[in-house]
Structure 1
Amino acid sequence: MAAYLSRIHHISLHVSNAEKLANDLVSKFKFCLFATRQTDRSRQLAFRKAAAVFLVNERRQDSVNLDEEVPGNTSFPDQHLVQVGKCSTGKYLYDVCSHYPVDTVSNVCFEVEDVEKSFKDLRHIGCDFLVPPTIVEDEGGVVTYSVVKSIVGNVCHTLIDRSKYEGSFLPGFEVLENDSILEDKDRTCSISHFDHITYACPRKTTQQVMRWYEQLFGFRRFFIDSKEDVDEGYVINQDGIGLRLTAMEYWKCSELGIILPFVDKKEPDCKFVIAESLPKQGRNQVDTFLEQHGSPGIQHIGLYTKNILCTAQAMSEAGVQFFSPPPTYYTEVGKQQEIEEAGHNPQMLAQHGILLDTTLPLDSSLQKTTCDDIQYLLQVFTKPIFSEDTFFLELIERRGATGFGEGNIRALWLSVQAYMEKNKKHSHTAQV
């Protein structure tokens, strides 16, 4: 392992219309705009919900043929120094400016203890760096960062050290509201952190991606199911569903003493999931992502919520559209009983398309299982939030379950497929 990751600092999105996405994040998803930065070539807007932070980057149309002045090779000096103010004309975005043809989620920023050491160690084993270690400062202090290109499509990782910075976000950003004010805002959407990030990848690339993250960042395998094959991952290959899921998580050093909000005061995990389609099962949403996005990339992000019913209801009333599973999901044999035994009302879940999946108790000899004994999760997917059928969000509430709703995959798959088939027909009709 060449770099020790502490936690996710933020996730960057590069879009053509920041205003529309900003309105959606605030009005529909109940995030708070808390910091902004304007440069001569781009605009950056930072949105927060507890520990979940999105950084939206909009590329200025009049500078589409200009590139950010960052080195394009590995002949870097040890450090670059950039001083920025509240409204900066600086060159750096804590990322790279993307000329990507469609809206995309392209950077997962990690906090690290030592950017320079990480840079040297990663470069030594052949990593492709887009930005060398760079020092940025303002009145709040100093931040050091660099940007490494990942093995997955256009996804990059900014490595950042803000241990010497006392500001609310990053140098150069104008902070609009302080954290205490943000915490008092809309409590109907109790999102606390990023639960997982899912990559859509081409077939037979999972093992390569896994090895890259293991070697460079110390990621380790997370088994979605106890019967999952080590090499094959979690595979569903039936009833028109051809899907392979493989999960991994980054190892956090216990001595760092990181504290983030979580229900049991444990540092929240953010797992990474690799999704690829299987042959001979027809076209599916992974293939659709790869085609419309133009490369592998981030397909969806799971937002952890402490109360998915309240969160989904508030978002739905604000205009968020969720995928709905087939109506028979809530009445099929065993599912209604499963939901009721977990202490939920099937009709209440059905109103917002929320799915429930339980984990069998470790002690199968228990004669009677109570609600308190059952481990389960609740989840629901939004429809794509970009104009293409690429990126979407997931709400997830965990009650002891650590997987990704293996029992729900078929229902989720069918609901997404139905939506995409409907969109395809509408598109065809419009062309005719």
Structure 2
Amino acid sequence: MTAPARRLCHIAFHVPTGQPLARDLQHLFGFQPLAAREAGGWRQLALRSGDAVFLVNEGSGPGEPLYGLNPCHSVPSATNLCFDVDDAGGVARALAARGCRVPVPPVSVWDAQGAASYAVVSSPAGNLSLTLLDRAGYRGPFLPGFTPVSSAPGPGWVSHVDHLTLACTSGSSPTLRRWFHDCLGFRHLPLSLGEDPELGLEVAAGSGRGGLRLTALQTPPGSVVPTLVLAESLPGTTSKQDQVEQFLTRHKGPGLQHAGLYTPNIMEATEGMVVAGGQLLTPPEAYYQQPGKEEQILAAGHKPSLLARQGILLDGDNDKFLLQVFTKSLFAEGTFFLELIQRQGATGFGQDNIRALWQSVQEEAARAQEA
């Protein structure tokens, strides 16, 4: 365990000039501008909702955007996770000694509010890089080099990032799990009793549609880092239209498929986003007619008709429940979406909801082909 990550600082995106991600995050999903920077052909805007911070890097400057790496990727995507660590320079050198590629060696940045140091490490997960940041000596609202942006308080729909899901090529999860363990201190988080870390949780989609293998990872107690979920298609999957295979094709390789944003009130958040113009995936009609689903929803203290109207999924038992809703892709290329999640005691990810998401993606793809 080389570099225990202490906190997720932000998720960074790279988009071409004029792509509306920053605008959509603010107007559709309740994020508020936090800090901005323009230099070297890049426009960088940090937006916040609760403790969730997204950094949108817009442009294609000749150099690297501050705190990141220009991946020169062919489609817009989430390209970087920035983690707080105790000693960015020391950690970067230790990872380089392990054979990790460090495209941005340790560098220090400062302004009137203090200083920070960082390095950028390439991960084995496609175009996803990791920024290792030490900002213990910084007092500003975001990071040195950025100008704070004043904005009205946001709607408060989101409190923090609950989890991050990487879409991986089939069979790669064990290698990725070991890499994140050795380099950043992530440990296997069982999603089922007696789960083998090498196998993860297998979720069959049913009716010959294949399925998913999910492997969850978490950092040790005391850190504030979202759960990392590795998702890959099960061997033998015949359909190339499942959510992971679709992502790998459209994204042209592995990467960050979605961010799960925790909300204390999923009904309010979902309604607010829909009213603002946000587009959500529609669950399959049969989801709410499953045997026992109405009783399950009532046991969790919710009204089945209200959940069905807003497309909210619910899973769980023994007084531990999970509510989820998924947006459509934030990019026309289908390379990133958001999930809203509310936990009522549940710590994992509902298998019925995973199957429902699977079918929703299938149906959305079919509608797009017919349009």
Q: For 1:128 and 1:231, how far apart are their aligned partners in 2?
A: 25
Give the C-alpha shift of residue 227 in structure 1.
Answer: 5.0
Between 156-165 and 233-242, report the one with greater CA deviation: 233-242
Say whether 1:412 aligns with 2:354: no
The match for 1:276 among 224, 232, 257 is 232
**Aligned residue identity for 2:15:** V
Q: For 1:116 and 1:390, how far apart are their aligned partners in 2?
A: 32
Q: For 1:338 and 1:281, how far apart are their aligned partners in 2?
A: 32
The match for 1:110 among 79, 83, 87 is 83
Partner of 2:176 in structure 1? 209
- Map 1:312-323; keep pairs closer than 5 Å: 312-323=270-281
Q: For 1:394 and 1:334, how far apart are their aligned partners in 2?
A: 25
Q: For 2:270 and 2:57, how far apart are their aligned partners in 1?
A: 26
Say whether 1:221 aligns with 2:188: yes
- Map 1:349-388; keep pairs closer than 5 Å: 349-359=307-317, 361=318, 374-388=319-333
Q: For 1:58 and 1:352, how far apart are their aligned partners in 2?
A: 33
On the 8 A contact 2:203/2:351 being kept in 1, the answer is no
Does the residue aligned with 1:26 lie in a helix, a strand or coil? helix
TM-score by length of 2: 0.95
Q: For 1:223 and 1:43, how far apart are their aligned partners in 2?
A: 40
Give the C-alpha shift of residue 114 in structure 1.
Answer: 0.8
Give the C-alpha shift of residue 331 in structure 1.
Answer: 2.1
On the 8 A contact 1:241/1:410 being kept in 2, the answer is no
**Quick one: percent identity of the two aligned structures?**
43
On the 8 A contact 1:28/1:319 being kept in 2, the answer is yes
Give the C-alpha shift of residue 217 in structure 1.
Answer: 1.2
Q: For 1:246 and 1:424, how far apart are their aligned partners in 2?
A: 31
**1:163-202 Cα deviation digits (max 9, x unpaired):** 111111111111012xxx75x4324x2x111100000111
Give the C-alpha shift of residue 19 in structure 1.
Answer: 5.4
Q: For 2:73 and 2:215, how far apart are their aligned partners in 1?
A: 27
Between 243-252 and 345-354, report the one with greater CA deviation: 243-252
Partner of 1:198 in structure 2? 165
Partner of 1:394 in structure 2? 339
Does the residue aligned with 1:163 lie in a helix, a strand or coil? coil
Partner of 2:217 in structure 1? 248
**Aligned residue identity for 1:24:** D
Say whether 1:186 aligns with 2:155: yes
Say whether 1:125 aligns with 2:92: no
Does the residue aligned with 2:20 lie in a helix, a strand or coil? helix
Give the C-alpha shift of residue 280 in structure 1.
Answer: 3.3
Q: For 2:226 and 2:237, how far apart are their aligned partners in 1?
A: 32
Say whether 1:337 aligns with 2:304: no
Partner of 2:243 in structure 1? 285
What's the Cα RMSD here? Answer: 1.5
**Aligned residue identity for 2:368:** N
Partner of 1:424 in structure 2? 369
**Aligned residue identity for 2:298:** E
Partner of 1:54 in structure 2? 54
On the 8 A contact 2:42/2:65 being kept in 1, the answer is no
Partner of 1:294 in structure 2? 252
Q: Which runs of 5 or more residues in structure 1 are unaligned? A: 69-90, 259-266, 362-373, 427-432
Give the C-alpha shift of residue 92 in structure 1.
Answer: 4.7
Say whether 1:22 aligns with 2:30: no
Between 227-236 and 137-146, report the one with greater CA deviation: 227-236
Q: For 2:114 and 2:65, how far apart are their aligned partners in 1?
A: 17
Does the residue aligned with 1:378 lie in a helix, a strand or coil? strand
**1:97-136 Cα deviation digits (max 9, x unpaired):** 2311100101000001111211121111111001111000
The match for 1:139 among 108, 112, 123 is 112
Q: For 1:157 and 1:414, how far apart are their aligned partners in 2?
A: 32
- When Rg is computed on C-alpha atoms for both structures, the one with the higher figure is 1
Alignment: residue pair count: 367
Q: For 1:175 and 1:407, how far apart are their aligned partners in 2?
A: 43
Does the residue aligned with 1:357 lie in a helix, a strand or coil? strand
